[in-house]
Amino acid sequence: MLSLAFLVAAGVVLVRDTKDSIRERVEAATRVTVQLLDTVIVSSAMNPSLGPTHYVLQDFLRSLGYVRSSRIELYDYANNPLYLSPGSTFKSEVIPPQWFVRLVAPKVETVTRRVRYGVLIVHSSAEGSIREAWSGFRQLMIMGIGFFVLLNLLVYGLLSHALRPVRHILHAINRIEQGDLTTRLERFSLPEFDRIGQSLNQMAVSLDAERQLEQNRQLTQLIQQHIEDERRSLARELHDELGQYVTAIKTFAVAIVNKTKATTPDISANAQTIVAAANHIYDGMHNIIRQLRPAAMDNMGLVETLRDMISGYQAQHPELSIQLHVSGEFQPMGENVNINLYRIVQEAVNNAIKHAHAQCINVHLLLDKDGLRLMICDDGVGMHIDNVDQTKHFGLLGMRERVQALHGQFKVVSQPDAGRGTTLEVRLPIQSA
């Protein structure tokens, strides 16, 4: 485009200069011709012996022949042509186009001289000059167009050679787009393409790592789902099978107590012991079932299940203050979200009681237009997060994996030096919630 614009600009300047040059040339030639003919007219008038002026001019013009840039006409008193100058034969084989003629042709000037018995008319003519100018202009334009084509072919060839790595880069991008994250680009000689190639390789490595991480998360979620299924099945078996046996033992023991209470007090006392043991086993079994699978989860939803769990912890640890704060209108959520949030709260409260030595534990559950937010705050001893290898602490790791499997955010904030305890914060997008 630049070379084409330069070519057009050069053509415009050349046409303008050619027009000025032709005009000056024609004007100068016309002045010289008129001065020469005036001299002949004056000489004829001063020498009557030469004959009438129009005849003298006729003989002079015939001997003169073609005059460049001028067309001379001589008429007698009756307006009959005595002499008409021949046309220009200079470069007669050259035929300039009309658009070029209109661009460079100067205004035609006419000079008239009345002589004895006739009229002399001189017209300016630029035909020969225009043909000459068109011949030179055409050669220059042909050279310019040839240079333009050659330059563009050269630039195209150079760019094709220089941009050859782009084909490899596009091929690599297409393979990555199709899922082949093992694609790697070699080093390029041009530093710009080399940086692009290295960035693309790094992006492929990151995407591969992200895909493996997502696969691990899906596997973790699948394992957790199987664990929950096994816990549900085990809780059901304990409740249905072991519960029936414990109930039967208790029923038999109560019957023995009723039959031997009056006759054999020793046997009745032993049976009472069996009844107490059965009650203890029954209560312990229900506690185990509650830990394995909260029965309220299937019937009353997450919020009520958390209330039941917090009430259980408060009953077991009356010296502590354990509270649940709920804000927002909770709609029924999926089984996967419910059980994961339940396990997170369960793990966090257990850690706060056993390891943080907390006296006050607050569980906040909020739901708004941005999603679900869960915070577990305690006033325990806290921990230095930077010094904790969370990959070796399976409680934190398990909670983080549960949150990431739900495409949420997990954050631990602890300031042990300030005595503010530890805060676990979980954020789930509204889609996951």
- What pLDDT was estimated at residue 245? 81
Q: Residue 229 and residue 75: Cα distance in Å, rounded? A: 125
Task: Say yes or no to pLDDT of 433 above 70.
Answer: no
DSSP helix, strand, coil percent of the chain (3-state; round to 5): 65, 15, 25
Partnered with residue 322 across adjacent β-strands are: 361
What is the count of structural domains for the chain? 2
Is residue 65 a part of any domain in this protein? yes
d(CA 11, CA 14): 5
Q: Which of 135, 158, 181 is the last residue of a domain?
A: 158
pLDDT grade for 394, boundaries at 50, 70 and 90: low
pLDDT confidence bin for 150, thresholds 50/70/90:
very high
Q: Scanning the structure block, which residue is given the tokens 């100058």?
A: 85
pLDDT in tens, 238-290: 777 777 888 888 888 888 888 887 788 888 888 888 888 888 888 887 777 77
Domain region containing 406: 302-433
**56-82: average pLDDT:** 87
Under DSSP, is residue 115 helix (H, G, I), strand (E, B) or coil?
A: strand
371: pLDDT strictly greater than 60? yes
pLDDT of residue 291: 72
Q: 151 lies in a domain?
A: yes
Q: Is the dihedral of CA 286, 289, 294, 300 positive or negative?
A: negative
In a domain, 343, yes or no: yes
> Looking at residues 39-47, what average pLDDT do you find?
87
What pLDDT, in 10s, does the model give residues 283-331?
Answer: 887 777 777 767 666 677 788 888 888 888 898 888 999 999 998 877 7
Position 297: which residue type?
Answer: M
**Nearest to 314, CA basis, from 419, 306, 344, 290:** 306
Domain C-terminal end among 131, 158, 185: 158
pLDDT at 121 (0 to 100): 92
Rounded Cα distance between 277 and 302, Å, is 33
| Domain-located, residue 390 | yes
Which CATH number goes with the domain that contains 306? 3.30.565.10
- Of the candidates 110, 126, 158, which is a domain's last residue? 158
> Average per-residue pLDDT in the chain?
84
* Residue 186: predicted pLDDT: 84
Residue, of 319 and 165, whose pLDDT is higher? 319
Residue carrying the six token digits 């042709």: 105
Length of the chain: 433
Q: How far apart are CA 232 and CA 298, in angstroms?
A: 11
Residue type, 198: Q
Q: Note if the pTM is more than 0.75.
A: no
Q: How far apart are CA 397 and CA 344, in angstroms?
A: 11
Residue 384 lies in a domain: yes
Contact by Cβ (8 Å): 421, 378: yes
For 363, phi then psi, to 5°, come to -110, 120
In a domain, 350, yes or no: yes
Q: What mean pLDDT is predicted for residues 412-422?
A: 77
Spatial distance between the Cα atoms of 100 and 86, rounded to a whole number of angstroms: 24
Work out the angle at residue 336's Cα, subtended by the Cα atoms of residues 334 and 341, and round it to the nearest 5 degrees.
100
Q: Residue 144: which of 251, 319, 10, 248 has the closest Cα? A: 10
Write out pLDDT tens, residues 84-119: 988 777 787 888 999 999 999 999 999 999 887 789
Residue 241: the pLDDT is: 75
Domain membership of residue 146 (yes or no) is: yes
Which of 11-25, 182-196, 224-238, 341-355 has the weakest average pLDDT?
Answer: 224-238
Work out the pLDDT band at 414, boundaries 50, 70, 90.
confident
Instruction: Report DSSP state, residue 356.
Output: S
d(CA 4, CA 11): 11
| Cα–Cα distance measured from residue 18 to residue 120, given in angstroms and rounded to the nearest whole number | 30
Residue 271 lies in a domain: no
pLDDT at 163: 81
